[in-house]
Structure 1
């Protein structure tokens, strides 16, 4: 008879991690569903781009916190690349810059995006919660939370197709962020998943990893909850600018 707290096998553990994304990843959120169906107005899409940028600009911050937890040069080198993916190797490069260009392609001002003036309180709370989670927890849970990357490539591929089909008023060059993240997301999850599987060999650590990934999914879901709620409160939400 197997004890209730016996470790899952490596395959069972991986299945449980993947099941979190299948059930809770934000591709299932009504706002993302409407985005992919081409049902967002210009105002709604701009609001999402503006608020999602608060998350994007904090990705290298949380990755710096994770990098500082590693005790080997090899791990630090691997994770440092994630910071460079977003901050860029030079001025005018990287994921943050590509997101700013997405905003400009959608008719938003770069200086407004950078100011953060239009970021919703609920979005700030969700993003700060994720950064603090990575600050306060150990490497296992911080890396496990990053495993939303397992689901990101498929979401990005669908998003590219949806934008090309439904949001043709956005310059296709503005979709460069999504295109880059398809390959980056696969690489990142291919690196992070074995770490989590190796580090969590007992049931308690395995459950902590699953809980961390669930929390990260909730962060992304909460961000979209805030954006969607702001649209419901906006009397002009369903009217595009003239």
Structure 2
């Protein structure tokens, strides 16, 4: 409740959230190898194909947060994430060929994957499915504030994505240049989104119970991302 004497100050609450950067997936051994140029083409393709499953479910996750939120001003702002990911609709009712999902499919083709095989998800590992489905279920069943807090991994994402483009261009010159459109378009968008989401969580999670739940939600999201990499790393380490 508001006025909870146990509540953290805004600064201390933000520090706890940002402190979870040590659990983000950039420190996972697979991710370290991916950026160091130590992954084989098949490992890069495995990461892209499995990450598609995550990308495909982001609009459903965001729609769940919108559905659970009673505040029109938040719903109006949050729904922009769905529009960015899914892309615009043409007057004929078909997808406009833009948006995060289409950009990811271009990336898949740039690393040598067959678009049809990415779409039918034949390369998606059970562990990745389990982790992503758990994240969507979390956002459907938990209060919207916790869903928003879980999205705060975007605080740690922009620099990592910008660094990924630099690293991949240096180490994986076999990737077609048009494949980087997703990251190049996403970096400025996620920088803006992260600032808004952080302010939203800091403003609306006022009791200590809400603050602790927000921190736990962000920790859970970090675990989801690392579980995805655990599955990919394990599968590619086997003969």
Give the TM-score range, shorter chain. Answer: over 0.9
Partners of 1:204 and 1:147 lie apart in 2 by 18
Q: What do the CA deviations read for 1:65-87 (whole angstroms, capped 9, x no partner)?
A: 11112223321110111001110
Partners of 1:34 and 1:185 lie apart in 2 by 24
**Alignment coverage as a number of residue pairs:** 229
Matched with 2:48 is 49
TM-score, with normalisation over the residues of structure 1? 0.93
Any stretches of 5+ residues in structure 1 without a counterpart?
Answer: 236-242
Partners of 1:72 and 1:138 lie apart in 2 by 12
Q: What do the CA deviations read for 1:169-218 (whole angstroms, capped 9, x no partner)?
A: 01111011111111111111111111111111121111000000000000
1:77 maps to 2:76 = yes
Partners of 2:138 and 2:129 lie apart in 1 by 14
Matched with 1:200 is 205
Partners of 1:93 and 1:53 lie apart in 2 by 16
Runs of 4 or more above 4 Å deviation: none
1:103 maps to 2:108 = yes
Matched with 1:10 is 10
Partners of 2:58 and 2:180 lie apart in 1 by 19
Matched with 1:238 is none
Partners of 1:222 and 1:35 lie apart in 2 by 16
Matched with 1:240 is none
Residue 68 of structure 2 aligns to a residue whose secondary structure is coil
* Cα offset, 1:228, TM superposition: 0.2
Residue 68 of structure 1 aligns to a residue whose secondary structure is helix
